[in-house]
Amino acid sequence: MDTRMLLTCALVLGLLATVPLSSGRGGPPRTLDARDLGAVGDGRTDDTDALTAALAGLRPGDVLVLPPGDYRHRDVLVVAVAGVTVRGEGATLTALDEERSALRIAADDVAVEGLTLGVAATTRRHTGADQHRLHVLDAHRVLLRGITVTGSAAAGIMVENSTGVIVDRPVVRDTRADGVHVTGTSARVRVLAPRVSGTGDDAVAVVSYDDAATPVTDVEVRSPVVDGTTHGRGLSVVGGRSVRFEDVTVRGTAGAGIYVAVEGDPYFTHDVDGVRVSGGTVTDANLDDRVDHGAVLVFSGRPGRSVSDVVLRDLRVSGTRADASRQVGLYRDDGGEIDGVELGGIVVDTDGGPTGLGTNLPADRYRIDGGTLAGP
């Protein structure tokens, strides 16, 4: 190829780089105002049809803006067009029917920013896909930034069978189920500085059920703050590989503040392999006297399944319910196995509370390295 041809190719490539994305169905990307497309956002009008049409009419590269207001919807809303952004600083989406309350992300390369998601009322805990308040399903390279969930009939934010998801600075409270839940075959998920309170189950949970072909892999949760659960645990890994929690603040949990486990009937989860929890505090854990977890619990309760390569380091534990049987527990049951647990630099305040470590493991299955945690 001669020099003139090379220059021509370079020029063409440069021009292509400046052309906005287009879906091939109507021109360059646009910034659209939801009010111009029929939504009202006055807290009284049912905006379901207008929002559904607005989302369906997007093309790759478009930005849909919801100006400040309260947009009510009676059905599931779905973002099904790849490469779009939905932005709503100061805007609230209020679901009117708890059974059809989800905002679902079902396309790749989607960003949702600034929205507050609520529900008019909930009557019980739900478990279906249409009841998670924000549901990322079978999607890749999704950004959720500055999302607030003020109530949910099921999980607040559910990431399922999705990869390359970033959940940046979410605030989640008053959910019937988990606050933030990562499951299915999800991988490469980052949850950054979540603030979670008043959840009906675990605050931040990684869960891998057997019906998923592979367990959840490569999850990082940075600087989580958990401020009270009405049921369940604070931070949990129940099946999964390569899961990391850093700089944790957990307080006021019904069960354990930190829970790492394989579970059998009725949950049937995958093995756990490669969990790291490093730095932070666990305060006022296991407030529910109907469960005996202590502040931290590593548990394997399924025949032929194992929890392995778990490192818990540099944690300060205080205020654990006084009649819990231990501060930290390492237990296997029903043929489950645990191997390769390291407890390093764990400082425990036992004033008025349980003392030390409870375990039924052989001494060669775990190691205590520094801190004040006493062995059994």
pLDDT tens for 72-105 read 999 999 999 999 999 999 999 999 999 999 999 9
- Would you say 172 and 150 are in contact if contact means Cβ atoms under 8 Å apart? no
Query: How far are the Cα atoms of 266, 270, 356 from residue 376, in angstroms, in the given order?
Result: 30, 29, 7
Distance in angstroms (rounded) separating the CA atoms of residues 172 and 155: 9
Backbone phi and psi for residue 13, each to the nearest 5 degrees, phi listed first: -65, -40
- Would you say 75 and 97 are in contact if contact means Cβ atoms under 8 Å apart? yes
At 351, the pLDDT band (50, 70, 90 cuts) reads confident
DSSP state letter for 269 = B
pLDDT tens for 206-260 read 999 999 999 999 999 999 999 999 999 999 999 999 999 999 999 999 999 999 9
Task: Report the percentage of the chain scoring pLDDT > 70.
Answer: 93
Backbone phi and psi for residue 323, each to the nearest 5 degrees, phi listed first: -100, 15
pLDDT tens for 260-307 read 999 999 999 999 999 999 999 999 999 999 999 999 999 999 999 999
Q: How many helices (H) and strands (E) does the chain have?
A: 2, 32
pTM value? 0.92
pLDDT tens for 124-145 read 999 999 999 999 999 999 999 9
pLDDT of residue 355: 78
Domain boundaries, the chain: 78-371
> How large is the average pLDDT for residues 170-177?
98
pLDDT of residue 21: 40
Residue 222 burial class via C-beta count within 10 angstroms: exposed 0-12, middle 13-18, buried 19 and up: middle
As a CATH number, domain 78-371 is: 2.160.20.10
Task: Assess whether pLDDT exceeds 80 at residue 26.
Answer: no
Task: Report the percentage of the chain scoring pLDDT > 90.
Answer: 90
- Would you say 33 and 63 are in contact if contact means Cβ atoms under 8 Å apart? no
**Which residue, among 259, 279, 373, 261, has the nearest Cα to 326 in the 3D structure?**
373
Distance in angstroms (rounded) separating the CA atoms of residues 167 and 151: 18
**Which residue, among 304, 312, 309, 248, has the nearest Cα to 280 in the 3D structure?**
248
pLDDT of residue 374: 79
Distance in angstroms (rounded) separating the CA atoms of residues 132 and 60: 25
Distance in angstroms (rounded) separating the CA atoms of residues 99 and 337: 39
Distance in angstroms (rounded) separating the CA atoms of residues 168 and 146: 6
- Would you say 264 and 239 are in contact if contact means Cβ atoms under 8 Å apart? no
* β-pairing verdict for 63-65 and 235-238: unpaired
**Which residue, among 257, 226, 249, has the nearest Cα to 324 in the 3D structure?**
257
Distance in angstroms (rounded) separating the CA atoms of residues 327 and 315: 12
pLDDT of residue 375: 75
At 46, the pLDDT band (50, 70, 90 cuts) reads very high
Decide: helix, strand or coil at residue 54.
Answer: helix
State the residue for tokens 């989800």. 102
pLDDT of residue 211: 94
